Amino acid sequence: MEIREERQASPVEDPVSALVAVTRPIINGVVQSIGAEYVAAYDSRGEIPLRMLGRLRKESDGDIGIAFEYAIHEAVQRGEAVVLERVTDALKLCNIKRGDPASILFAIEKQGAKQLIGTDLELITDNSRALSGRQGQPVKLKKHLNQLAAAFRRVSTKPNLPQSINGLWKADLFLGSPVPDHWVGTSVKITRTRLERAAGLRIAIVPATVGRSDAIYRDEAKNLIVCPVPHDQSFMEVFHEGWRLVQSLCASDFKMPTAAAVPSSLLREVAKVYVQRRDYSVGEVLEVTGPFAQPHLLETNPESVATTSFQADVLPDTGTVVAPAPMQMELFRL
């Protein structure tokens, strides 16, 4: 799988130029993710007319669904201090106090394909256990991976999970340590309002909010250890707005989407940039829109990461993930 990391290099300034800056690499990511058999009629991917993107791509091409989760996963794996320190403290509150923190990330697609992404397979052993915060012997993680994936797709399969982890299918990744071989289900959300209580979830990672304490705390109502991570929230909001805009444009063949799809004047202004150029090739459009984009907002870092399917009856559709990587600056720590 290719991860096209779009790393924030400077703060968001003008909203229009910032939105153009993030939609350009998203469009490029979608182009690069289209299967080769669908672009064989063109000399290169850059020759594809912009209006054809929506017809050539599948729904999951250039998927951003796991992008923020991957950013957290990668930060733990690379040992980025600002994230690692907070994850270590959160794990201690879950009674995982030995060994270096590690992360297990698995993606589940709507079609049913399940794969581990950028995860060392040796982390998942026959003795790996998921701590639920309840009394009793923790369940074995490896034994229930397929059941967790099935529960994600079909409500009817949820009762097959042990009661202590029957909400673990909502986990975005697993944090823990290979030394005790203990792991906890972790929810990664861009906004705190989306956090929810679920049996088996123990940690929630959310963006730290300017003007609000970034201390780790226990949410008794949701039974979660909430772990705020400092970053530029305005960048993440712009990035996700950009992804939704590109989805709407692809769905409308780069004609102006309906007012319901692009309800704000900002979205319509940026949509117009591409709608007016729908008959030109993707390469031409990306080139001429460069001057409209906020300079130095993003640095693109494509990287190939290992994936391993743990149930092979359905092949994954997503070959490319566009991953926003926000700035993690002391400025955002209170």
Whether this model's pTM surpasses 0.85:
no
Give the residue numbers spanning the domain of 209.
Answer: 67-230
Nearest to 207 by CA among 243, 171, 236: 236
Residues 176 and 99 grouped into a single domain: yes
Residues 98 and 117 grouped into a single domain: yes
Question: Which is more confidently placed, 95 or 167?
Answer: 95
Give the pLDDT confidence of 198-229 residue by residue, as tens digits.
Answer: 888 899 998 777 677 789 999 999 989 999 88
310, pLDDT greater than 70: no
Least confident stretch, 23-27, 79-83, 152-156, 192-196: 152-156
Residues 226 and 238 grouped into a single domain: no
Residues 154 and 240 grouped into a single domain: no
247, pLDDT greater than 80: yes
Residues 190 and 280 grouped into a single domain: no
Give the pLDDT confidence of 40-90 residue by residue, as tens digits.
Answer: 889 888 999 999 988 887 554 444 445 567 678 877 887 878 788 999 999
Residues 123 and 179 grouped into a single domain: yes
The three-state secondary structure class of 286 is helix
> 274 exposed, middle or buried (CB, 10 Å; 0-12, 13-18, 19+)?
buried
What is the band of 111 on the pLDDT scale with cuts at 50, 70, 90?
Answer: very low
In a domain, 317, yes or no: no
In a domain, 331, yes or no: no
Question: Which is more confidently placed, 200 or 328?
Answer: 200
In a domain, 332, yes or no: no
In a domain, 200, yes or no: yes
Percent of the chain with pLDDT over 90: 27
> 305 exposed, middle or buried (CB, 10 Å; 0-12, 13-18, 19+)?
middle
In a domain, 312, yes or no: no
The pLDDT assigned to 328 comes to 52
Average pLDDT, the chain: 77
110, pLDDT greater than 70: no
Residues 157 and 118 grouped into a single domain: yes
The pLDDT assigned to 298 comes to 67
Q: Report how many domains make up the chain.
A: 2
300: Cα separation from own chain's centroid: 16
